[in-house]
């Protein structure tokens, strides 16, 4: 009986242990089911997000291709612009290295490289102002003389012979300034010719100077408009052909003198020259 009681006690203990183990297994199974449900929901969310991202990528693909193409085009334009600037600088340096084509500065007579002018500090406003004031005095006296000549030429209706244009097909055609050439200003005591075919040539020099100032534009690849059959025109023909008044002629002459004075002085501020345009009267 004692042995039977012991055996029944052992069996009861095993049954209790099995019952606890079953409860643990049920708890683990329930947790695994919850994890499985959560993973399924996450998978559905990720699938939806993947489909949305794929749709957005398909929608923005043309914009991305256009942006990439625009970037490549900008790089090509930048490379072409740098090449053009480099060619222009090299051509300008070659022109300045040749004494026959270069234009020395009026102060020292030396040639300056465009590279030095690119990296050199800009002239101050005070120096530009002092230089432009001196040039304006000469410019105004020259403008008054030119307006008088244009007025007299308009009365006489004289047509001055035009200079021959540069031949077509020349490798380096150049366009001379209509302000170049020496004006035929009679001296005091000498009568002015009253012929209807009198020639009136305008120049940048004042009546007291003897230096003739000229300028020209040299093209490596000249535009089509540079190949002309007639020109350049003097101010008399321009005023008569376009019916320009004296104020307009005065302003045009003043602009031309300012441009060439700025090129000669190499320090005149363009903004100040434009502001003085209103005071040319």
Closest CA to 256 of 93, 116, 96, 146: 146
In a domain, 113, yes or no: no
In a domain, 210, yes or no: no
In a domain, 237, yes or no: yes
pLDDT of residue 99: 53
pLDDT reading at 70 higher than 90: yes
pLDDT of residue 161: 40
Q: What digits encode the pLDDT tens for the residues 180-221?
A: 434 444 444 444 444 333 333 444 444 444 455 566 666 677
- Please give the share of the chain, as a percent, with pLDDT higher than 70: 46
Q: What residues make up the domain containing 241?
A: 233-270
- Please give the share of the chain, as a percent, with pLDDT higher than 90: 15
In a domain, 20, yes or no: no
In a domain, 249, yes or no: yes
pTM of the model: 0.25
Residue showing tokens 């998978």: 43
Average pLDDT, the chain: 67
pLDDT reading at 69 higher than 70: yes
Q: What digits encode the pLDDT tens for the residues 139-190?
A: 566 666 666 665 665 544 444 444 444 444 444 444 444 444 344 444 444 4
In a domain, 151, yes or no: no
Total domain count, the chain: 1
Structure tokens at 177: 């300034």
Q: What digits encode the pLDDT tens for the residues 268-278?
A: 454 454 555 55
pLDDT of residue 121: 47
Burial of 132 (0-12, 13-18, 19+ CB in 10 A): buried
């Amino acid at each position: 009986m004692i042995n039977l009681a012991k055996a029944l006690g052992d069996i009861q203990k095993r049954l209790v242990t099995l019952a606890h183990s079953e409860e643990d297994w049920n708890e683990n199974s329930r947790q695994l089911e919850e994890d499985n449900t959560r993973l399924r929901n996450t998978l559905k969310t990720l699938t939806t997000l993947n489909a949305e991202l794929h749709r957005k990528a398909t929608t923005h693909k043309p914009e991305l291709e256009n942006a990439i193409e625009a970037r490549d085009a900008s790089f090509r334009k930048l490379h072409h612009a740098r090449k053009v600037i480099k060619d222009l600088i090299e051509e300008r340096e070659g022109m300045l290295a040749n004494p026959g084509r270069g234009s020395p500065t009026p102060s020292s007579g030396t040639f300056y490289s465009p590279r030095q002018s690119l990296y050199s500090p800009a002239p101050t406003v005070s120096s530009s102002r002092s230089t432009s004031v001196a040039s304006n005095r000469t410019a105004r006296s020259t403008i008054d003389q030119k307006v008088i000549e244009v007025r007299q030429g308009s009365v006489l209706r004289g047509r001055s012979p035009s200079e021959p244009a540069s031949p077509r097909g020349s490798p380096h055609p150049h366009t001379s300034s209509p302000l170049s050439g020496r004006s035929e200003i009679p001296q005091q005591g000498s009568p002015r010719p009253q012929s209807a075919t009198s020639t009136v040539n305008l120049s940048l020099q004042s009546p007291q100077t003897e230096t003739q100032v000229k300028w020209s534009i040299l093209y490596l690849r000249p535009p089509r408009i540079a190949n002309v059959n007639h020109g350049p025109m003097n101010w008399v023909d321009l005023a008569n052909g376009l019916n320009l008044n004296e104020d307009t002629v005065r302003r045009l002459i003043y602009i031309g003198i300012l441009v060439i004075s700025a090129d000669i002085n190499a320090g005149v501020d363009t903004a100040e020259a434009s502001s003085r345009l209103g005071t040319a009267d």
